[in-house]
Structure 1
Amino acid sequence: MKFLICTLILFSFAIAPTHAKAETPPNIVLLLSDDQAWTDYSFMGHEAIQTPNLDALARRSAVFRRGYVPTALCRPSLATLLTGHYASTHGITGNDPSPKYAKPDSKLYDARRAQLISYLDRFDTVPELLGKRGYLSHQSGKLWEGSYTNAGFTDGMTRGFPNPGGRHGDDGLTIGRQGIEPIAEFVDKAVAAKKPFFLWYAPFLPHSPHNPPERILSKYKTDGRTDSVAKYFAMCEWFDETCGDVMKLIDDKGQRDNTLFVYLTDNGWIQDPNSSKYAMRSKQTPYEGGIRTPIMYSWPGKIIPGERTELATSLDIAPTMLAAAGQTIPDGLPGLNLLPNLETGAAIERDRIFGESFAHDVADIENPEASLLFRWVIEGKWKLLLTYDGETNRYTSTHPRTEKGPQLFDLIADPAEKTNLASDNPKVVAKLAREIEKWYPVKERKTITSAP
């Protein structure tokens, strides 16, 4: 009998599953700048702007200096981060329905606003998917798609449309500009509950109004620099300061070692030196000043810090964050899960990235092509822009379609895109145009091939 009992005990150990403690999923902090050029950081080489906190993050991050957003406008760019899809797929291509076809504040206009927000329901958002892994999530700053709960966050600040004043962040837009106390309260809650957490920190910074504290602005007031430029430079430093507050909060709570930080900007900005507005070839355009951004990933002991030379896109962020959390990545996402490459240092196997530009106002909320202005591809040193005849609505002056034909740039030799090389390289143009067409076949819009 003793032999039988011992045999059964040994057998039970042999067949019993191992219950090694599962690795704790990391906290995830998304730091998101609003309207900032890819050049406007100390670590990116700017001669004046001081960004000591983001510089420190860069030193402990995998840094993609050639990072891009596929659409250079805040609402579609943020929807891409929530869903992992291109604007032409998620359907939120602009900031507002066109007032040309429905008077603002009319019932029809509000119905179209609601329909655009409803497009988010077609996807499992990142905070929803993280919630299935036990995450608590907090939204602060910019958010267009209704309330924070509509986007899948467990906690947050934005009331959203149809609440009075709900549009692009409402109450959430105070974050950073008026401190980060709501985030601190949330982190305390998550840590006390022993839950992993996801922070969406998308402050209204350095976005206009450019009204930085005088203690920062005074650093940038110099002879030969206009007030508008000085204010914008100071806003970049103010944003950096608030990122430092968030990072210090994570450190003070003892959470740094198990926190994945992700950094990018929603779209670019080139300050007009003579006004508070942005210059041409920046926000809303497919030029480097509109779509390029540094993208950083930091996770101590997991991600190898250092400069990455490959192309990166914000489409990669959703699958990479989900992979870090141990969550299954939805089928059909166009971005790549970069985590294995970031952990090993292996090269990213990708030849090219794509993007698209639409008008600020959505001409037809059920047909993205109605507002299509550009499609683009970057492959190696080459960048090709194709121009389309979509409707620009009330923001026509911000879309530089004066050069109507294909535009080809050598981004390594000419990152400012001063010289169009299309006429000298017709085979390159034809090849890249075919790649664009394979990626996203346009059905209705016409390509503009030459100036009228």
Structure 2
Amino acid sequence: MKKVKNTCFIFLIAVLVFSCGNKTKKTTEKNIEVSESTDQPPNIVFILSDDQSWTDYSFMGDENIETPRIDQFASESLTFTQSYVPTPLCSPSLATIITGLYPKDHGILGNDKVYERVKGDRKASQENRAEAYKSVISAFEKQTTLPDRLKEKGYLSFQTGKWWHGNHRIGGFDYGMTHGDPTRGGRHGDYGLEIGRQGLDTINSYVDLALKEKKPFFLWYAPFLPHRPHNPPQRLFEKYKKKTDSEHLAKYWAMCEWFDETCGQLFDLIEDKGLTENTLFVYVCDNGWAQDPTKSGYLKHSKRAPYDMGIRTPIMYKWTGKIKPNMDTKTITSSIDMVPTVLDVLGIEKPENLPGVSVLDEKALNERKGIFGEVYAHDFDTIENSMFYNMAIFPPYKIIIPDPVRKKGEAIQLFNIDEDPFEKNNLAETHPEIVKELQEKITAFRAE
């Protein structure tokens, strides 16, 4: 079991890279060239957007939001535009990204463990929340994370931004910004939430540390962007006010561009240190968001909902000169594939308990016919007591199965997401055979 050190220090984060050896080989049925001999494996950077719809990028067709740096990144990457996270809520989604497991397997079902909220006493409520969450952290500490797996290759791992699961060391990170102490405001990132919004100095320091120690690094960049509070720089707010009468839309759109700017700053930082060519960048959003134009909040079909506005995201993989850029608009991938893909790049055998596949393995990707999704209560208990929806996505169909107890009275929904990406036309009654087939797949998935 990993042990957490009680430390108040905010260590600063890094990225490091050294050039690959000259001998390379093309692996069979993969869009990648892998080095046979190298002085050092690639650095790995995970870039995580926070509360952003799959539609809210200019390269995805949005006519209002400008995301030039992410657009460029997408054009340089193996980009899957129809990808998913398995659940539309940040804490369980981030737990999947770091472990490669579905929520039912890593145990983080929602943002908070069920606890007593004391009306009028915020401090007492926070204390109750912290006490209830101790068991969640203890259980998650036993999971094997990507940073744990990278230790065998000599990686330093750094955490910045959102992190829900106690101290950064719970996730196997060597250094991090999040102390996770609930008595000092630790819940979903604490000091880590400053990254991006207050610059990238911490990341710059981590990069220098990795360079000094001559080790490859794994960087977790999960800024609190474009997440609320929607308080963008005034220059961006003024820009988007000209595009809409809704102040709330203007602020949200500005937040998306602000996030894009910080991604550009990160790319530039790594480029300035000469590290780009031996760095694998991976991009994903933790869950969707549809801005309510009338108030500071989201529309109910997005965050926390089983629809594509809650769980769909572009996922991108960039390794200059190694991974072939391609804009894939058809293949379904998932955030469960991120860990297996990294392991594949590094030549680490994928553990049997990981359900995902390497997106660089075309054969495995083509053989997989579908993926699954789960939605649980924000304040969760057991799977049985917290389930809201099960989803299965087997193109062109996606099914949403409401829990008969907590979503009593709701109908099963079936959509042809190729023809109906915004899920307007429920086909369940007219396609009972497909409903039955996908229900059986979900039953088997839950039993695994």
Give the Å deviation of 1:431.
Answer: 0.9
1:205 corresponds in structure 2 to 225
Alignment of 1:316 onto 2:337? yes
Structure 1: give runs of 5+ residues left out of the alignment: 1-19, 392-400, 443-452
The whole-number CA distance in structure 2 between the counterparts of 1:196 and 1:326 is 15
Normalising by structure 2, report the TM-score.
0.87
372, 394, 410: which is aligned to 1:354?
Answer: 372
- Structure 1 counterpart of 2:369, which letter? D
The whole-number CA distance in structure 2 between the counterparts of 1:48 and 1:426 is 40
Greater relative contact order (Cα < 8 A, sep 6+): 2
2:423 corresponds in structure 1 to 417
CA shift digits 1:225-277 (9 cap, x unpaired): 30000000000000000011111111111111111000010000000010110
1:253 corresponds in structure 2 to 273
Give the Å deviation of 1:121.
Answer: 2.1
Contact 1:133/1:327 (8 A) holds in 2? no
Distance 1:170 1:46, change over 3 A: same
Distance 1:100 1:212, change over 3 A: same
Contact 1:370/1:390 (8 A) holds in 2? no
Distance 1:26 1:163, change over 3 A: farther
The whole-number CA distance in structure 1 between the counterparts of 2:128 and 2:115 is 10
Distance 1:96 1:346, change over 3 A: closer
The whole-number CA distance in structure 1 between the counterparts of 2:220 and 2:213 is 19
Alignment of 1:231 onto 2:251? yes
User: May I ask how many residue pairs the two structures share in their alignment?
Assistant: 408
SS at match of 1:435: helix
150, 170, 173: which is aligned to 2:190?
Answer: 170
Give the Å deviation of 1:105.
Answer: 4.1
The whole-number CA distance in structure 1 between the counterparts of 2:401 and 2:356 is 22
Q: How does 1:139-158 map to 2 (within 5 A)?
A: 139-158=159-178
Contact 1:373/1:387 (8 A) holds in 2? yes
1:325 corresponds in structure 2 to 346
2:206 corresponds in structure 1 to 186
CA shift digits 1:154-190 (9 cap, x unpaired): 1110010344100000000000000000000100111
SS at match of 1:178: coil
Give the Å deviation of 1:131.
Answer: 2.0
367, 371, 374: which is aligned to 2:386?
Answer: 371
160, 168, 180: which is aligned to 2:180?
Answer: 160
Structure 2: give runs of 5+ residues left out of the alignment: 1-35
Distance 1:62 1:441, change over 3 A: same
Give the Å deviation of 1:60.
Answer: 0.7
Alignment of 1:220 onto 2:236? no
The whole-number CA distance in structure 2 between the counterparts of 1:125 and 1:346 is 22
The whole-number CA distance in structure 1 between the counterparts of 2:126 and 2:423 is 42
CA shift digits 1:393-439 (9 cap, x unpaired): xxxxxxxx597111001111111111111111111111111111111
- Structure 1 counterpart of 2:331, which letter? E
Distance 1:129 1:233, change over 3 A: same
Give the Å deviation of 1:99.
Answer: 3.2
The whole-number CA distance in structure 2 between the counterparts of 1:266 and 1:139 is 16
Alignment of 1:295 onto 2:315? yes
2:19 corresponds in structure 1 to none
The whole-number CA distance in structure 1 between the counterparts of 2:249 and 2:70 is 21
Q: How does 1:65-84 map to 2 (within 5 A)?
A: 65-84=81-100
1:55 corresponds in structure 2 to 71
The whole-number CA distance in structure 1 between the counterparts of 2:220 and 2:373 is 23
Give the Å deviation of 1:331.
Answer: 2.4
CA shift digits 1:297-343 (9 cap, x unpaired): 011121111122210000000111122233333221011122333xx
The whole-number CA distance in structure 2 between the counterparts of 1:102 and 1:421 is 44
The whole-number CA distance in structure 2 between the counterparts of 1:190 and 1:356 is 37
Distance 1:402 1:279, change over 3 A: farther
**Larger Rg over CA atoms:** 1
The whole-number CA distance in structure 2 between the counterparts of 1:228 and 1:206 is 13
Contact 1:136/1:154 (8 A) holds in 2? yes
Normalising by structure 1, report the TM-score.
0.86
The whole-number CA distance in structure 1 between the counterparts of 2:397 and 2:360 is 26
RMSD: 2.0
Contact 2:241/2:247 (8 A) holds in 1? yes
Percent sequence identity is 49
Distance 1:436 1:228, change over 3 A: same
- Structure 2 counterpart of 1:167, which letter? R
Give the Å deviation of 1:191.
Answer: 1.5
Distance 1:224 1:195, change over 3 A: closer
2:62 corresponds in structure 1 to 46
Give the Å deviation of 1:199.
Answer: 0.6
1:17 corresponds in structure 2 to none
- Structure 2 counterpart of 1:153, which letter? F
SS at match of 1:422: coil
Distance 1:73 1:106, change over 3 A: closer
- Structure 1 counterpart of 2:66, which letter? Q
Distance 1:163 1:68, change over 3 A: same
Distance 1:106 1:53, change over 3 A: closer
